[in-house]
């Protein structure tokens, strides 16, 4: 019989409990599905090539890597092969140094598969690691930073792992294919699906991610995935989480701030007469107020009046809502960004949502801006530091890591200085984008 290969370690992004230790933070359906597919492949590989079942803990295992924390802690897996799916390279502070450290401890990085925006420098690093034998292969299937891939051509992490390890193999089945579809539409914000939302809520509830992956690995047909919530009892946990979340989200009202920016009058330099004409053409029904300009003799005041009309029309203003994550008692639900958005959109219209965990982490989403005036994958490194980012429509940064960050004022962001902190962030947005600030004001309670 052929000797069994090295133990495989598949990496889930976020934090999780191992052996009862740790806490469940972060992660999403894409990373869960990606690791499910890796687990199914590993199990099928052992059955096919070694005529035995793969044993969890002996032949394969799941571990965690959280954003910005690096890979060095994976050195504990001496003599193992590591697989890292669905993880943005920029979120690894010292990729080369960490991989070299792993190699010194006989922990070999086999694959990196990712769909987040990447830089040419990151690709060169990966190519160098492959040439040195420190990495076997990598797939970067997102856009280069600052560029864009049409929605229909975009892939998520689960798409890559399913295609490379399960598609057209005996290991695949319609239930796993459906899980891939759910991860795809959820991660890329393509369409609403109730089951995808429920599975995401299960993750947000703090359910152990390893347990979730191991259970999803048992899917053998389409009906299994359709009935997964009831067959596992997850539906009851999700209902409890939804009840606790509904009790917790009103706390968001205490610290909500609206940042409004004028949409640029033009991308080119125009004289004031041309700017006035540009704004007049975008007044919509407010044009009926234009005759009042004849009563204004001062050119500067006339311009200000027309600009005021221009900004009254919702389509001419970009609205960002910032929220401070509230203090959470142990028995209360953790409000993740999806839960926060679901609540706040019932209170105020917005284009973008910036969710602040103090000054430590700011998670951002494009909620309702089809024109995508802000590329969040580029804005986040500007507010935080190089290495922050994500997707054009969903990205994260650590504002406190910016070299120009005023730690004396905002080292601890609390309700009493949150408005000032929002003014600081608004200034960074304006500096990055060229958008002029219209107003910054508290909303909610």
For the stretch 223-268, pLDDT in tens is 999 999 999 999 999 999 999 999 999 999 999 999 999 876 654 5
Does residue 388 carry a pLDDT above 90? Answer: no
Could you tell me the pLDDT band of residue 181, with boundaries at 50, 70 and 90?
Answer: very high
Q: Which residue has the higher pLDDT, 52 or 2?
A: 52
CB 100 within 8 A of CB 134: yes
Q: Which residue has the higher pLDDT, 347 or 292?
A: 347
Q: What is the pLDDT of residue 278?
A: 60
Among the ranges given (168-182, 194-208, 292-306), the one the predictor scored with the smallest mean pLDDT = 292-306
Class of domain 248-261+316-443: alpha beta
Summarize pLDDT for 302-339 with one digit per residue, the tens. Answer: 666 666 566 656 667 899 999 999 988 878 888 889 88
The residue-averaged pLDDT of 185-209 equals: 91
Does residue 91 carry a pLDDT above 90? Answer: no
The residue-averaged pLDDT of 195-217 equals: 94
Q: What is the pLDDT of residue 210?
A: 94
The residue-averaged pLDDT of 390-398 equals: 87
Q: What is the pLDDT of residue 96?
A: 95
Q: What percent of the chain has pLDDT over 70?
A: 86
Among the ranges given (6-15, 140-149, 433-442), the one the predictor scored with the smallest mean pLDDT = 140-149
Q: What is the pLDDT of residue 237?
A: 95
Q: Which residue has the higher pLDDT, 385 or 178?
A: 178
Q: What is the pLDDT of residue 421?
A: 96
Does residue 277 carry a pLDDT above 90? Answer: no
Does residue 8 carry a pLDDT above 50? Answer: yes
Summarize pLDDT for 93-129 with one digit per residue, the tens. Answer: 899 999 999 999 999 999 999 998 888 989 999 999 9
The residue-averaged pLDDT of 186-204 equals: 91
Computed over every residue of the chain, the mean pLDDT equals 87
Quote the CA–CA distance of 445 and 443 in Å, as a whole number.
Answer: 6
Q: Which residue has the higher pLDDT, 413 or 189?
A: 413
Does residue 391 carry a pLDDT above 60? Answer: yes
Q: What is the pLDDT of residue 267?
A: 47
Q: What is the pLDDT of residue 1?
A: 42
Closest by Cα among 353, 378, 347 to 365:
353
Does residue 192 carry a pLDDT above 60? Answer: yes
Summarize pLDDT for 128-175 with one digit per residue, the tens. Answer: 999 999 999 999 998 888 788 888 899 999 999 999 999 999 999 999
The domain locations on the chain are 7-232, 248-261+316-443
SS (H, E, C) the chain: CCCCCCEEEEEEECECCECCECCCECCCHHHHHHHHHHHHHHHHHHHHHCCCCCCECCCEEEEEECCCCCCHHHHHCCCEEEEEECCCHHHCCCHHHHHHHHHHCCEEEEEEEECCCECHHHHHHHHHHHHCCCEEEEEECCCECCCCCCHHHCCCHHHHHHHHHCCCCCCCCHHHHHHHHHHHHHHCCCCCCHHHHHHHHHHHCCCCHHHHHHHHCCCCCHHHHHCHHHHHCHHHHHHHHHHHHHHHHHHHHHHEEEEEEECCCCCCCCCHHHHHHHHHCCCHHHHHHHHHHHHCCCHHHHHHHHHHHHHHCHHHEEEEEEEECCCCCCCCCCCCHHHHHHHHCCCCCCCEEEEEECCCEEEEEECCCCCCCCCHHHHHHHHCCECEEECCCEEEECHHHCCCCCHHHHCCCCHHHHHHHHHHHHHHHHHHHCCEEEEEEEECC
């Amino acid at each position: 019989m052929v000797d069994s290969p090295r133990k495989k370690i598949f990496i889930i992004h976020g934090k999780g409990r191992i052996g009862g230790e740790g806490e469940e933070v972060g992660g999403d359906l894409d990373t869960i599905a990606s690791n499910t597919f890796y687990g199914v492949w590993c199990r099928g590989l052992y059955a096919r090539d070694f005529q035995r079942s793969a044993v969890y803990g002996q032949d394969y295992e799941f571990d965690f890597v959280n954003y910005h924390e690096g890979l060095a802690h994976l050195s504990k897996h001496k003599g193992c092969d590591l697989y890292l799916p669905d993880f943005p390279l920029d979120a690894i502070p010292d990729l080369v140094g960490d991989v070299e450290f792993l190699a010194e401890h006989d922990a070999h990085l086999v694959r990196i598969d990712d769909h987040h925006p990447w830089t040419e420098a990151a690709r060169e690093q990966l190519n160098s690691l492959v040439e040195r034998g420190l990495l076997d292969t990598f797939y970067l299937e997102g856009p280069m930073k600052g560029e864009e891939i049409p929605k229909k051509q975009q892939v998520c992490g689960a798409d890559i792992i399913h295609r490379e390890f399960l598609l057209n193999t005996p290991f695949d089945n319609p239930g796993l294919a459906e899980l891939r579809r759910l991860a795809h539409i959820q991660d890329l914000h393509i369409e609403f699906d109730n089951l995808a939302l429920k599975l995401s809520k299960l993750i947000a509830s703090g359910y152990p991610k390893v347990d979730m992956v191991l259970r999803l690995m048992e899917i053998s047909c389409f009906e299994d995935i359709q009935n997964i919530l009831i067959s596992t009892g997850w539906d009851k946990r999700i209902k409890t989480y939804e009840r606790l979340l509904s009790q917790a989200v009103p706390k968001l009202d205490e610290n909500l701030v609206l940042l409004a920016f004028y949409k640029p009058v033009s991308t080119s330099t125009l004289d004031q007469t041309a700017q006035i004409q540009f704004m007049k053409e975008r007044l919509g029904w407010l044009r009926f107020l234009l005759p009042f300009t004849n009563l204004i003799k001062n050119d500067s005041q006339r311009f200000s009046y027309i600009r005021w009309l221009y900004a009254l029309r919702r389509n001419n203003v970009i609205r960002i809502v910032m929220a401070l994550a509230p203090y959470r008692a142990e028995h209360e639900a953790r409000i993740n960004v999806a839960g926060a958005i679901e609540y706040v959109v019932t209170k105020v219209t917005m284009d973008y949502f910036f969710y602040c965990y103090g000054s430590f982490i700011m998670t951002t989403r494009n909620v309702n801006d089809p024109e995508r005036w802000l590329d969040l994958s580029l804005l986040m490194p500007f507010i935080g530091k190089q290495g922050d980012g994500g997707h054009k429509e969903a990205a994260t940064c650590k504002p406190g890591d910016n070299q120009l960050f005023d730690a004396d004022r905002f080292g601890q962001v609390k309700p009493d200085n949150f408005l000032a902190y929002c003014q600081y962030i608004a200034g960074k947005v304006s500096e990055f984008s060229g958008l002029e600030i219209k107003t910054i004001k508290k909303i909610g309670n």
